[in-house]
Amino acid sequence: MLAEFEVVGTLPNGGQRIRFLSGPLADRVVIAFPDSDPYFQERISHERQQRPLTADERAERLLRSLLTNEQVLDWVQSQRFTVPTPYGVVELGELYNIGFWPSSGGEFRLCVIPTQKKGVDLPLCDQWVNLLLVLKSDPERFFTVANWRRPGGKFMFGPVPCIINHTAQA
């Protein structure tokens, strides 16, 4: 059922006061602005503007822009994604407990945290971006500075053992 209404007044800018006669808004009076009203257009434009993105939202957008479609899907589903390197596969997603499966076999847990300015907290996704870029551009450096442990063991200072072996073989 369509609501019925009547115009009960006209405004100087061409707007109208309208009273609904039937429907869920019966007896309610509203003001209708013409599409050409500059004030109305400015308000609509302002309301349509998105709020500024937070630092976390910007960081996540940047991270996703650097990932493959498969990595983005993994990130969305589990907040983790894997990165292939010349030394094996790294799984980013849990600080202080980064998964690493060397090409030679086995498993390590790594701890690599990007350097931050004192008193400035990087959004988590910015930390993943930082680590991802190092893994892509200089993986040897990543594994050299990483603290490492075998599952269930104690952390040791880097480099990760397989990097020493890999470098010696090269």
Q: Which of 129, 114, 27 is nearest to 18 (CA)?
A: 27
Q: Which residue has the higher pLDDT, 4 or 55?
A: 55
- The proportion of the chain whose per-residue pLDDT surpasses 90, expressed as a percent, equals 54
Average pLDDT (113-138) is: 89
Tell me the C-alpha distance between 80 and 127, whole Å: 13
The answer to whether 112 and 131 have CB atoms below 8 angstroms apart is yes
Write down the domain spans for the chain.
5-48, 55-169
pLDDT in tens, 106-125: 999 999 988 877 877 889 99
Q: What is the reported pTM?
A: 0.67
Helix (H) or strand (E) holding 152: none
Q: Which residue has the higher pLDDT, 131 or 36?
A: 131
Mean pLDDT of the chain: 84
Average pLDDT (71-78) is: 94
Q: In what order do the strands lie in the sheet with 98-102?
A: 81-85, 88-92, 98-102, 108-111, 147-149
